[in-house]
Amino acid sequence: MALSPPSNSPARWLLSALLATSSLLPVAQGQGYKVGTPDEIRESARTLAYDLMLFYKGNQSGEIPGILPGPPTEHKGDYYWWEGGAMMGTYVDYWFLTGDPSYNHVVTEGMLHQVGPNADYMPPNHTASLGNDDQGFWGMSAMLAAENKFPNPPEDKPQWLALAQAVFHTQAAPDRHDGTCNGGLRWQVPPTNAGYNYKNTIANACFFNLGARLARYTENQTYADWASKTFQWLWDVGYIDHESWKVYDGGHVEHNCTDINKAQFSYNAALLLHGSAFMYNYTNGSEIWRERVDKLLEGILRDFFPDGVAFELPCEGRKGACTADMLSFKGYVHRWMAVVTKLVPDTAGTILPVLRTSAEAAARQCTGGDTGRRCGFYWSEGVFVDPAVDKTSGAGEAMSVLAAVSSLLIDEAPPPATNATGISRGDPNAGSRSRGPSEPLAPITTADRAGAGILTMLILGGFIGTWSWMSIGD
């Protein structure tokens, strides 16, 4: 789908007509979106998906596929590279939950354009300012495409599962790990980056999450070992509070990570919950992973869903205090919590009513702009607050509401695919070109029908033994 054809395209007039008549799409002005029935949810999600795509320029002539306008450091727009990957994942879930393939071509094009020359989401334009979390978000969207059985790329292009493996393998390589703070990934990858001395939760949570999901998909224990050790490191270093299960942001290596920044961001806790649910499912109901699911869920509902509506704790109480990154967090939380109900089914009775209350509040405030259906960020207030208050164009706000509304269809969806049901092809050598010839790959230890596997040599002896907003230093 080319929402914005080149100026010399005969389809330009059609775009103008679509935009001129966009108010004919469902939802009356000033009334918000209806989400009472599955059909209403699909219709509302269809309109939300259309409106979100208007923020995306990557399918226009001369623009870069896969990214939202930015980065702000170059005065090109409000958004950093990672948020394009998060948006692609939102549309993968949108297709999976609603069945609408309208944006699949845009998503495939965008996700493949950003893989970089070594097919590991380290494109040269962004490698110099790369964070482990930035790369991790693209890897998690690729993993989602494999789990959702999103249509495979052309045979001569990198495949979804292989891309997820490539991200994980590069992050498991020795050059990403050191002995400071007794282990853990640093926030930034290049040592010259501001923030390289910071070891934070989000970088390690992305790595943990990918490991947990790859373990379940491929049935390879090596991934599970990495996931377990990464979660344990987060616990041991104190980034997960041992009493309250609050999830904190990070610390600096020069202080042995003891100067913990106790800012709480919803996506940190939700990403750990999501990965823990995958580990619980992979281990066939391990008690330790069940405890982690239960405690993290309890903390998230306590801290980030007052009155049952998503609330971004560190910034939402002060209008204009949230960064463009934070304005997108609610959507990830909704998507990840919805998936938890498929992996740990008896959590559904607790999670789904909250997600519905929150999504209803989100939909209710989408009454702004010329169309009367633009979405803001402040869901619990029940009224539209223009994204200009937070000095952004509104893509993160729109993406979050689309995610919240689409996720209401999770009951109808199957659980994430595994090697027994998936269609994506893996690659045991994925990521090896960026790691270099000094790190040879071991033979595949467990292969699925799609060819997934991992090198057993990734287990390293000695492993485990400022705000961290993604935008800082990017």
Three-state secondary structure along the chain?
Answer: CCCCCCCCCCCHHHHHHHHHCHHHCCCCCCCCCCCCCHHHHHHHHHHHHHHHHCCCCCCCCCCCCCCCCCCHHHCCCCCCHHHHHHHHHHHHHHHHHHCCCCCHHHHHHHHHHCCCCCCCCCCHHHHCCCEHHHHHHHHHHHHHHHHCCCCCCCCCCCCHHHHHHHHHHHHHCHHHCCCHHHCCCCCECCCCCCCCCEEEHHHHHHHHHHHHHHHHHHCCHHHHHHHHHHHHHHHHCCCECCCCCCECCEEEHHHCCCCCECCCCHHHHHHHHHHHHHHHHHCCCCHHHHHHHHHHHHHHHHHHCHHHCCCCCCCCCCCCCCCCCHHHHHHHHHHHHHHHHHHCHHHHHHHHHHHHHHHHHHHHCCCECCCCCECCCCHHHCCCCCHHHHCCCCHHHHHHHHHHHHHHHHHHCCCCCCCCCCCCCCCCCCCHHHHCCCCCCCCCCCCCCCCCCCCHHHCCCCCCCCCCCCCCCC
CA 72 to chain centre: 20
Answer yes or no: is pLDDT of 137 > 70: yes
- Check residue 128 and give its pLDDT: 77
Backbone angle region of 452, left / alpha / beta, with phi > 0 → left and psi within -120 to 50 → alpha: beta
- Smallest CA-to-CA distance from 230 within 463, 4, 8 is with 463
Mean pLDDT of 411-430: 96
In terms of Cα–Cα distance, which of 300, 303, 292 is closest to 242? 292
Is pLDDT of 463 > 90? no
Average pLDDT rounded to a whole number, residues 115-144: 94
Report pLDDT for 2: 35
At residue 388, the pLDDT reads 96
pLDDT score of 433: 82
The H or E element spanning position 76 is none
pLDDT at 85: 98
The residue type at 128: A
**What is the percent of the chain with per-residue pLDDT over 70, rounded to a whole number?**
85
With pLDDT > 90 as the criterion, what percentage of the chain qualifies?
Answer: 82
Nearest alpha carbon to residue 317 among 394, 245, 380, 402:
380
Which tens digit of pLDDT belongs to each residue from 43-84?
Answer: 999 999 999 999 999 999 999 999 999 999 999 999 999 999
Q: What is the average per-residue pLDDT within 236-243?
A: 98
Among 261-270, 277-286, 453-462, which is the least confidently predicted range? 453-462
What gap in Å lies between CA 340 and CA 336, rounded to an integer?
6
Q: Which pLDDT band, with edges at 50, 70 and 90, does 441 fall under? A: very low
How much is the pLDDT for 15? 39
- Please say whether the beta carbons of 364 and 356 come within 8 A: no
Instruction: Find the helix or strand (DSSP H, E) in which 446 lies.
Output: none
Query: Average pLDDT, stretch 139-166?
Result: 98
> At residue 370, does pLDDT exceed 90?
yes
For residue 374, what pLDDT is reported?
A: 97
pLDDT-derived band at 435 (thresholds 50, 70, 90) equals low
Q: How confident is the model at residue 356 (pLDDT cuts 50, 70, 90)?
A: very high
Q: How far is 265 from 367, CA to CA, in rounded Å?
A: 27
The domains of the chain are located at 38-423
Q: Which helix (H) or strand (E) holds 200?
A: strand 198-200
Average per-residue pLDDT for the chain = 88
The crossing angle, in degrees rounded to 10, of helices 266-282 and 221-236 is: 140
Ranking 27-31, 43-47, 223-227, 260-264 by mean pLDDT, the lowest is 27-31
Query: Which residues are CB-contacts of 208 (< 8 A; sequence separation ≥ 6)?
Result: 226, 227, 230, 231, 234, 271, 272, 275
Residue 452 has pLDDT above 60, yes or no: no
User: Looking at the domain 38-423, which fold is it?
Assistant: Glycosyltransferase (1.50.10)
Q: Average of pLDDT values for 216-230? A: 98
Q: Tell me what the mean pLDDT of segment 240-249 comes to.
A: 98
pLDDT at position 125, please? Answer: 87
Amino acid letter, 392: T
Torsions phi, psi of 443, nearest 5? Answer: -60, 155
| Gap between the Cα atoms of 467 and 471, Å rounded | 10
On the question of pLDDT at 214 being above 90, the answer is: yes
Q: Rounded CA gap, 424 and 155, in Å?
A: 11
Q: What is the pLDDT of residue 200?
A: 98
